[in-house]
Amino acid sequence: MKLIPTEVIWFDGKLVPWDEARIHVLSHTLHYGGGVFEGMRAYKTPRGPGIVRLKDHMKRMVDSCRIIGMDLPYDVDTLCHAVVQTVSRNKLEEGYIRPLAFRGYSQLGVDPTGTPLSVIIAAWPLGGYFGEEAREKGIRVGVSSWRRMAPDTHPALAKAVGNYLNSQMIKLEARRHGYDDGIALDVEGYISEASGANIFLVREGEIWTPDVGSSILRGITRACVIKLAKEMGRVVREERIPRSALYDNDEVFLTGSAAEVTAVTEIDGRKIGNGTFGPIARSLRDAYIDIVRGKVEDRFGWMTILPAAKQKAPAGA
């Protein structure tokens, strides 16, 4: 995700200019990885910019803090308000929003007790997470030699900064092999997830996705897709899934706030289905995109719509 600077970043309650949102090099999180973050999108809708499942993202951020033992100085409502402020002040019509809670400067050593906590919220324009073409054509992936963390090592359900070293190893290896992303197995060899997205398989009309015991992040887009699939009358199974099921199905797709609903057309050199964006994945992608872009009614109450940014009056007007 290329960073495209916007005007301001919310920093502990203040909106500071993008270039001035700085921290000390001896900040605790930079050294030991204790922090949590979120990632969500705002889409342009006919009524103004719409943020997808804002409250659920902020709840997960608060939950992530609880899991890793960080006393976040803000509640869910304050964080939601701060996100709205950040998007509005930057006059962003659509893009990506990144809240981050981190430990600052006061002491080093693994014991984080007493380190000051800070929260920032930044937002910038973002197109397709895997590139524009992948939104239609899908992506190629390989199974990673890096496993997801065991359930008693890192807290996979927390969107914690330190967990993303694992994601980076998966992504770097995948890129080295010429893939768009890697699929990680859990410590027992069951399918877990991609480096930054959940995975779904479709076989004979039924939809399968790894359960929360498979070292996944409890994805919010995953929840959206499960809801939409059930609404369409489809069977959705959240279960442990063996690796071999990656290869003998009709469709595979990934879900994520950034990744949206992206088809996987090839895994480890084997074509999935007929190698195109499959019909069930496509119907779920379309149903999701129609809601977030405000093309259909927001029947599940997922969207927070902001007043449309005021356009600058044309010169001479």
Pick the piece of the chain touching ligand PMP (CB under 6 A) from 7-15, 75-83, 189-197, 290-298.
189-197
Q: Tokens representing 262?
A: 């992206």
For residue 182, the minimal CB distance to ligand PMP (Å) is 11
Residue 161 main-chain phi, psi, to 5 deg: -50, -50
CB nearer ligand PMP, residue 115 or residue 285: 285
CB nearer ligand PMP, residue 8 or residue 58: 58
For residue 54, the minimal CB distance to ligand PMP (Å) is 12
Q: Check residue 198 for interaction with ligand PMP (CB under 6 A).
A: yes
- The Cα angle at residue 221 between residues 48 and 98, in degrees rounded to 5: 60
For residue 155, the minimal CB distance to ligand PMP (Å) is 12
Identify the sign of the CA torsion 265, 214, 167, 6: positive
CB nearer ligand PMP, residue 115 or residue 155: 155
CB nearer ligand PMP, residue 50 or residue 256: 256
CB nearer ligand PMP, residue 52 or residue 82: 52
Long-range contacts of 291-299, Cβ-Cβ distance < 8 Å, separation of 24 or more: 292/41, 292/43, 292/45, 292/50, 292/52, 293/43, 293/44, 293/45, 293/50, 294/43, 294/45, 294/46, 294/47, 294/50, 298/50
CA–CA dist 5, 126 (Å, integer):
11
In this chain, which of 139, 222, 277, 291 binds ligand PMP, going by CB under 6 A? 222
Q: Check residue 192 for interaction with ligand PMP (CB under 6 A).
A: no
Of 211, 155, 215, 144, the residue nearest 184 (C-alpha): 144
Q: Check residue 64 for interaction with ligand PMP (CB under 6 A).
A: no
Q: Check residue 160 for interaction with ligand PMP (CB under 6 A).
A: no
CA–CA dist 55, 59 (Å, integer):
6
Q: Check residue 29 for interaction with ligand PMP (CB under 6 A).
A: no
Q: Check residue 197 for interaction with ligand PMP (CB under 6 A).
A: yes
Q: Check residue 304 for interaction with ligand PMP (CB under 6 A).
A: no
Q: Which listed residue (159, 230, 295, 312) is catalytic?
A: 159
159 a catalytic residue: yes
Q: Check residue 219 for interaction with ligand PMP (CB under 6 A).
A: yes
> 3-state DSSP call for residue 49?
strand
Q: Which of residues 230-269 bind ligand PMP (CB under 6 A)?
A: 255-257
> 3-state DSSP call for residue 169?
helix
Catalytic residue set:
159
